[in-house]
Structure 1
Amino acid sequence: MSATSTAVARPKKSVPGGSKSGGAKSRGSKYSHKQLWFGALAWVIAIVFVLPYVEMAITALRPKDELTGSGYLPSRFEWANFVDVWDKSTLGSNLKVSLLVAGMSTLLVLVVSLPAAYYTARKRFRGRGVFLLLVLITQMFQPTSLLVGLYREFYILDLLDSYWALVLVNGAFNLAFSVWILTAYFSAIPVELEEAAMIDGASRIGALRRVTLPLAMPGIVTAVIFTFIAAWNEFTVALVLVTTPDKQPMTVGINSFLGAYRVEWQYLFAGSVVAIVPVVILFAYIEKHVVSGLTAGSVK
């Protein structure tokens, strides 16, 4: 055969399962479908949880003559309900009391729990495990089961029908959770960071303020939001210990719209909408810190 003879073309090897780009495209498309299904499921769950709040807002704007109607949306929105609810009740004073009690309770919890949690995390004293166990056990007690004793105690202290009774009760019953979660955060922060700061000239308090507290900020924010919400939503103790209408918090003040023979549904829901606004604003403002606080430690 001559050198100029044509070479026989070899058949190309076929790649099992198709081309590489086709397989990647298929995998990418499959992943997109999975994302789509998870997104749709998340929207369905979100709508289910949001619908009661939407119904509450709609009822707050519903005219009085349409409260028992079958339609989901009213024929008109009665914005005057939000004006009347301030004029016909002590809702303004109740809102101030709730902000004062929740804020003071949260501050009291932080002032007590921060040094207690820091000392528990840094010192291995005798009975440390028993102390943490007792702190956790106190979470099992509910204020409702202790109402008789609480009423008697504040009667002796002459603190009935006062803001301080609510502040002390809410602070005491939320202190255990704050101590527990802050102890876990302080224990997760290496003590060598504080020792390095003290070698550079910082005092123990200075190292705590400049090094430890900023690193433990997600845990502090988590304790703040949970304490504030718990104090804001408390009802039973406030109903028993405080009897003057303008000294009661929002949870008790809203209850005044529930009469013996009729219920002012439009004012009840209008007050409920007003009551959730401060909590929503607070949670939206520090939500990223709460999420990081709750998930801290999940990834090593």
Structure 2
Amino acid sequence: MTDQALTTPARRRTLRPRTLVITAVAWLLAALFVLPYLEMVITALRPADELRDATFLPKHFAWNNLVDVWRQSTLGTNLRVTLEVAGGSTLLVLAVALPAAYYTARMTFRGRKLFMLLVLVTQMFQPTSLLVGLYREFFQLDMLNSVWTLIICNAAFNLAFAIWILTAYISSIPAELEEAALIDGLSRFGALRRVTVPLAMPGIVTALIFTFISAWNEFVMGLRLTTVPSSQPLTVGINNFIGNYTVQWNYLFAGSVVAILPVIFLFAFIERQVVSGLTAGSVK
């Protein structure tokens, strides 16, 4: 290599006009999506006497709103209930969906396609369409205002999605790996625990995070199946700031900020595994 080649500066990469336009549009769309959340945070920090002011930023920020919202409501208890419901639903879905998906992906049995069709059909039923029947059933069982009621309902409505995701991911894992483990002396359960589950972890995480987020954001079931404030989830507790004649906007948005932050951090932390799980089986 000559001295001239060593001293020649590297050519700077020039952006094409098409790339600039696409980047500008992407930033604009991102701003449009972020703007409502920014407005929510700003409103959560507005003093009560400035809620009706036609200004984007308040004259001064009321940081005490984030503290007073806990003192003047049952949000602390509602947050605990939501954590119990979301965590319990996620564990219940995992305990049921993983064996069902593994058996469906690895075994050939009569009625397999019918089983998968029935799993898909259950996704067609919305919780609101079954609300009257579920309310009557849990009323007769004396299970209203119970955390277990919300756990069972949320797990039932997210079970089909988890089975589909896990079946697709486990099917993409070569069965020869399990056969080699069986030859080495492992049982079927041992091969599942030591071989299949570690390889299927992105799919498992995808199913669990979607179940957790769905249970965390659930509102309709929590509103109708719970009437006592101490047994209501966070979404219903936030809704209590909407009165018949007034709306406490600053506390409403302060509670909303508290509700969305855990989900944002959780999704950002495992975003790569979620994408990997959703694209399982797309490439052969």
Classify the TM-score, shorter chain: over 0.9
Query: Of 265, 268, 272, which aligns to 1:284?
Result: 268
Return the alpha-carbon distance in structure 1 between the equivalents of residues 256 and 79 of structure 2. Answer: 11
AA partner of residue 73 (structure 1): L
Return the alpha-carbon distance in structure 2 between the equivalents of residues 198 and 273 of structure 1. Answer: 50
Query: Of 243, 252, 270, which aligns to 1:259?
Result: 243
Tell me which residue corresponds to 1:48: 32
AA partner of residue 277 (structure 2): G
AA partner of residue 204 (structure 1): R
SS in 2 for 1:115: helix
Query: Of 46, 58, 62, which aligns to 1:78?
Result: 62
Is 1:239 aligned with 2:223?
A: yes
Tell me the CA shift for residue 234 of structure 1: 0.8
Tell me which residue corresponds to 2:211: 227
Return the alpha-carbon distance in structure 1 between the equivalents of residues 281 and 117 of structure 2. Answer: 21
SS in 1 for 2:171: helix
Query: Of 139, 151, 176, which aligns to 2:160?
Result: 176
Tell me which residue corresponds to 1:145: 129
Larger radius of gyration: 1
Return the alpha-carbon distance in structure 2 between the equivalents of residues 140 and 280 of structure 1. Answer: 27
> What is the aligned-residue identity percentage?
68
Return the alpha-carbon distance in structure 2 between the equivalents of residues 162 and 244 of structure 1. Answer: 10
Q: Which runs of 5+ in 1 are unaligned?
A: 1-24
Return the alpha-carbon distance in structure 2 between the equivalents of residues 257 and 128 of structure 1. Answer: 49
Is 1:38 aligned with 2:33?
A: no
TM-score, normalization: structure 2? 0.93
Return the alpha-carbon distance in structure 2 between the equivalents of residues 247 and 138 of structure 1. Answer: 28
SS in 2 for 1:159: coil
SS in 2 for 1:260: coil
Is 1:128 aligned with 2:116?
A: no
- How many residues align? The count is 274
Tell me the CA shift for residue 33 of structure 1: 4.2
Tell me the CA shift for residue 197 of structure 1: 1.1
AA partner of residue 39 (structure 2): E
Tell me the CA shift for residue 209 of structure 1: 1.1
Return the alpha-carbon distance in structure 2 between the equivalents of residues 152 and 297 of structure 1. Answer: 41
AA partner of residue 209 (structure 2): I
Is 1:193 aligned with 2:184?
A: no
Tell me which residue corresponds to 1:216: 200
Q: Is the 8 A contact 2:172 2:280 kept in 1?
A: no
Return the alpha-carbon distance in structure 1 between the equivalents of residues 59 and 245 of structure 2. Answer: 27
What whole-Å deviation, never above 9, does each CA across 1:155-211 have from its counterpart, x for those lacking one?
222211110000000001100110111111111111111001111222211111111
Query: Of 65, 84, 100, which aligns to 1:116?
Result: 100
TM-score, normalization: structure 1? 0.88
Tell me which residue corresponds to 1:69: 53
My pick for the range that moved more, 289-298 or 103-112, is: 289-298
Return the alpha-carbon distance in structure 2 between the equivalents of residues 171 and 198 of structure 1. Answer: 33
Tell me which residue corresponds to 1:273: 257
Query: Of 190, 209, 232, which aligns to 1:248?
Result: 232
Is 1:204 aligned with 2:188?
A: yes
What whole-Å deviation, never above 9, does each CA across 1:62-92 have from its counterpart, x for those lacking one?
1111111111000100001111101110000
AA partner of residue 183 (structure 2): I
AA partner of residue 216 (structure 2): W
Tell me which residue corresponds to 1:10: none
AA partner of residue 159 (structure 1): M
AA partner of residue 141 (structure 2): L
Tell me the CA shift for residue 32 of structure 1: 4.6
- The 1:234/1:53 distance shift into structure 2, 3 A limit, reads same
Tell me the CA shift for residue 296 of structure 1: 3.1
RMSD: 1.5
